[in-house]
Structures are given as structure tokens and as C-alpha cells.
Structure 1
Amino acid sequence: MRYKWFKGLMIVCMGVSLQAQDFQGKAIYQSKTQVNFDFGNRNIPEDRKKEMMERMKKANEKTFILNFNKTASIYKVEEKLEQPGERGGGRGPRFGAMAGNDGDLYKNIQDQKYLVKNELLGKIFLIDDELEALDWKMESESKQIGNYTAFKATSVKTIKRPNMSAIFRRPGRGEENDEEKKGEEFIIKEVEIVAWYTPEIPINQGPGLYWGLPGLILAVNDDVTTIVCSEITLNPSEKIEIKAPSKGKQVTQAEYDQISQEKMKEMRENFRNRGGRGGGRPN
């Protein structure tokens, strides 16, 4: 009896494996990043501060599309047309572009490599590096996300993000009271990552650089960014092309981070040489 059950299971698994060779999917994610911008002692009207914060918030609320198969994926921002009356919604501090995760991101789980095509101040870079394998801890909690049962997993990750407040602070004001290296261009710290994955889609892909769980990651949260899946299409009738980006100056993540840091320093010096004019609005 056990042999028949095992043989039947093997036949089912073989069938699933054969079908999986052509398996594809598409997931839509909504990403929101909290904006904590320190205006310091600038003499800016409250209504102007509110307007600036709203623009920064909007610039950091995005929709991403993840196209995937069993071994690879491409993750990119959904392009949206600017609505009439909008004043260049993308002109706030955008954490992703400087950090190197706002461009087209290709992940190959089999090779444990990733490629990011990213634009930095008018120049195209191609970041080519190895995927970081997080030490995931499986938790017992579960919840429903859309039509799928998702399970919780946690890990600790070192996060590096631009410190926009340091760049656009007037010199000599408030730096002595800062908690997170306010004079630095980047904030680097360890944070807890909380992810929710579903074994119902048994691939170890996910949004951004997240991967490595026994199921598609449907939601993930660090200390400031929340990403949640809002729609999934499995095996769409129209075949999805998952192609690695190839254009741009090829660099490692560490090299790109160094270039970003130098550009951030230039921005800070240019802003301070102008005496902090411009009300804190980035150019």
C-alpha cells in the first residue's frame, strides 16, 4: 500500500516537474517608503513643508511588476503617465535610485546572480553581483494575502540608504543632535526583515533582491519600506520574456555604492556652497 502511494506521488511530481519547465507568472507589487526629512531650522512656511512632504511621499509610492519563471525573474517599476496639474512627481528624494535598486532588476536564482540597470544623474550603470542569501527564520504565523495563504519568515539584513536630511541640511545647524550619522551621505544599519511567502506558488522568488523562501514572497517589510503583492497571474496566455539587462557601464554593487556616495557628497557640497538656498528642494 505504501509503495502504491509513493509511486502515485512520484508520477504526480514528475508531471508537475515537466509542466514547470514552461512555468511562468506575473505579480504586481505596491511599494511604499516612509519619508523622514529633517527641515532643520530653515524658515519655511508650514504649508510649503506639507507640500514638499506630500511630493516626497508620492515619489516613494510605486507599483512594481515581477515577471518570473522557476529560475529567473525581472522586477521593474510600472511606468505611469504624469497626470494634468502634477508638478513633476518624481522630483523628491528617491531612495531607490541612489541605492541601486530602482532600475530593472534581473535575478537568476540558479546562478545566484543579479543584474540591475540603473540611471544615476544621467549615466546608465549595469550592476552585476551575487545575490545575498539571507538566513531566514520560519515562523508559525500565517495569514491570507489575496487568494493565497502566506507564512511568516524573518531575517536580519544590513540596509544602506541615502541620508537626504544630511545632504540638504544647512551647515552647522542641528547636527549635534542627530542620532544616525547626520553628517554622512548614507545611513547603514541592521534591520529586521519580515516576509510573507506562499508555498502554493513553489518558487523562491520575490520582490526586489528578496528570495530564498519555499514559495513566492507576497509581502516584505523593512524599517521604512513595505511591499505587498496586489495581483498574480500564473501561466499567462501570452509568453513573458525574462531577459537580463545588458546596457550600461558594468560595475559591482560595492563600486556603484562608492560612485553614489561621491555623487551624494557633491550634491551636499553644491547645496551648502549655495548657502542652503532653495528651501531644501533637491535639484
Structure 2
Amino acid sequence: MKKLNIKVVLVLLLLLNTISLTAQELYGKVTYKQRLGEKLNDSIANKKYGDVYKNTMDFISESIVKNCDNFEYNLKFNRDESVFVGIKKLQNEADKGYKLAEKFSRVDDVFYLNIKSSQKLVQKESFGELFVIEYNLSDIKWELVNKTKVINNYKCFMATTTKIVKNSKGIFKKPVIAWYTTEIPLNFGPKGYGNLPGLILELQEDKLIFYATKIKLNPKKSIKIVKPNKGKMLTSKEFELRMKKVSKNLWIGR
């Protein structure tokens, strides 16, 4: 009986060590595509504008709806870090519709997370200048929801939060919905979202939905994560104040 108990304990210890080791060694890459939410898609496509701007705004709306599904992104990650970047594709530079959709989707933005240091960096261009903006992961407050669905054969759980957007028009609250899987126990996701009990396989932020199409765990080829370092480094508060100042100057200059 004692021998049997010892064997059971040894097997349990071996299983626990294997699970721990698996979590520690997890690394890989997830490819995401994007689409417009159905209602939001309709609101953009069917929005009516005044005669003065109608042709221009109709062209912008149609370009976004037509091209939005064409963009792909890669999320590369290891145990502690991740980087989310758009996949650049060869495109006709004269295709203005594609370029407009690219700007709308902000394909050039780079999102970096470091779970150990609770650091989030966003590299983005604004008013013709490149910035690296530092955020704190603890700024995102998730609410875990008792809803599930299957994505790419992974059982996913729902979580929600609110994104606060501040601009010259005021302060806006926009809902964010994430679907994460505990079967991949890493705290990352699209667009710098994370800090959930598993990898985010689908994310809706404002008008866009990002959804996983390919998941590669522990591939033979090593995963290299490059921390964004090109651009002026600012805290989120410094960037907010800078944008207020630039917007004010532009308004005065009109």
C-alpha cells in the first residue's frame, strides 16, 4: 500500500513538473486577421454626408469596408514578452483606397508587452512624428464574463473592459471584448491587450475585430522579439499633453 502511494505521489509530481515546464517553455506566433463588426460595417457603409463632403466621405467609407479584411498581423511571444505587428504586403502605391484603410487600421503601429515589468510600449506615428509611448498594464481593468465559445479548437472565455479615448472633441468610452483561452497559459493578445488568464484569440476594439487564423506553438524556428526603440519616448500622460498642445496649435492656425 505504501509503495502504491509513493508511486501515485511520484506520478503527480511528474505531471505537475511537466505542466510547469510546458508553461515556462511556451513560445510561438499567432497570425490574426481583422474585420469590421457587422453593425459597425453597416454604419460606415450607409452613413450619409452633406453634399459638400459626400463624394469624399463615401470614397473613404467604401475604401475601409472594401479593404479592411485584407490586413494581417503577427503576435510573437515567449513566457515574458510579446510584440504585435502588422504584416507588410506589396501593394500598388497608387491604390488610395488601400492606403486609407491602412491608415484607419493603423497597421504600422507596434505593440510590445513585458509581463514581468508590467510594461506596455506602443510605437506609433502622430502628426508626422514617431513616438514610443509607455503604458502600465495595470491600467487595464478586466471583467471576466461567464460566456464561452470555441475558436480554432480552443475553448475561450469572455472578458470585457473599457478603452478611454481623449481627443480634441472630448472624452469617449469605447467597449472592448476579448476571448481568451486558458489552454495557452500566456497573458498576451492583439494590440497590446493582455494580463488575462490565457492568450487572447479574438478581440473587438471599437470598429475592428481581430481574430486568430494560425497558431504556432514552440516552432522549430526560434522566435525573436524586438522591443520598439525608434521614436521619441514618452509616458502616456506626456503623449496626451503633447497631442493636446499640437491640436490646439493646429486649431489656432486655422
TM-score, shorter chain, exceeding 0.5: yes
TM-aligned CA distance change 1:186 to 1:65, over 3 Å: farther
For 1:74, the aligned partner's letter is V
Alpha carbons 2:137, 2:195 under 8 Å: kept: no
Q: Does 1:67 align with 2:50?
A: no
**Cα distance in 2 between the residues matched to 1:252 and 1:190:** 21
Specify which of 113, 121, 126 is matched with residue 119 of structure 2.
113
Q: Residue 96 of structure 2: SS of its match in structure 1?
A: coil
1:87 aligns with 96
1:127 is aligned to 133
Instruction: Say whether 1:54 aligns with 2:62.
Output: yes
Cα distance change, pair 245–49 in 1 and its aligned pair in 2 (3 A): closer
* Secondary structure class of the residue paired with 2:220: coil
1:65 CA drift (Å)? 1.0
1:13 counterpart residue number: 16
Residues 134, 9 of structure 1: CA spacing in aligned structure 2 closer, same or farther, 3 A cutoff? farther
Residues in 2 aligned to 1:186 and 1:77: alpha-carbon distance in whole angstroms: 28
Question: What is the root-mean-square deviation in Å for CA atoms of aligned residues?
Answer: 3.2
Counterparts of 1:254 and 1:217, CA distance in 2: 27
How many residue pairs get aligned? The number is 244
> CA 1:144–1:207 in 2, change beyond 3 Å: closer, same or farther?
same
Taking structure 1 as the reference length, the TM-score comes to: 0.72
In the alignment, the residues of structure 2 paired with residue 142 and residue 153 of structure 1 have an alpha-carbon distance, to the nearest angstrom, of 10
1:266 Cα deviation (Å)? 4.9
Alignment of 1:137-152 (within 5 A): 137-152=143-158
Is 1:240 paired with 2:240?
no
Of residues 198-207 and 33-42 in structure 1, the stretch that sits farther from structure 2 once superposed is 33-42
1:94-105 matches, cutoff 5 A: 94=103, 103-105=109-111
Higher helix share: 2
* Paired-residue identity, %: 29
1:106–1:114 contact (8 Å) kept in structure 2: yes
- For residues 119-172 of structure 1, the C-alpha deviation after alignment (integer angstroms, 9 at most, x for no partner) is 2233221212322353333333211111211112223x232166xxxxxxxxxx
Structure 2 Cα separation of the partners of residues 93 and 269 of structure 1: 29
Unaligned runs of 5+ in 2: none
Deviations 1:214-265 (A, max 9, x none): 1111112244332211211111111011121222211111212232334444
Equivalent residue, structure 1, for 2:172? 189
Q: Structure 1's 223 and 87: CA in aligned 2 closer, same or farther, altered over 3 A?
A: closer
Q: Is the alpha carbon distance of 1:79 and 1:261 closer, same or farther for their aligned partners in structure 2, counting shifts above 3 Å?
A: farther
Gaps of at least 5 residues in structure 1 are 163-184, 274-283
Indicate the residue corresponding to 2:186 in structure 1: 203
Q: Tell me how far apart the structure 1 counterparts of residues 166 and 66 of structure 2 sit (CA, whole Å).
A: 18
DSSP 3-state at the match of 1:214: coil
Paired with 2:240 and 2:139, the residues of 1 have a C-alpha distance of 19
Structure 2 counterpart of 1:158, from 151, 160, 163: 163
Bigger mean CA deviation after superposition, 19-28 or 204-213: 19-28
> Whole-Å Cα distance in 1 between the matches of residues 68 and 239 of structure 2?
21
Residues 67-93 of structure 1, C-alpha deviations (whole Å, 9 max, x = no match): 011111011111122147622622469
Classify 1:5/1:193 alpha carbon distance in 2 versus 1 (closer, same or farther; 3 Å). farther
Contact 1:72-1:106 within 8 A present in 2 as well? yes
Q: Secondary structure at the match of 1:141?
A: strand
Alpha carbons of structure 1 residues 10 and 189: separation in structure 2 relative to 1, 3 Å = farther
Any idea what the Cα deviations from partners look like across 1:35-58, whole Å, max 9, x if unmatched? 867875342455x54322122445
Once residues 96 and 251 of structure 1 are traced to their aligned partners in structure 2, the CA distance between those partners, rounded to angstroms, is: 23
Question: Match for 1:25 among 28, 35, 53?
Answer: 28
CA contact (8 A) 2:108 2:124 kept: yes
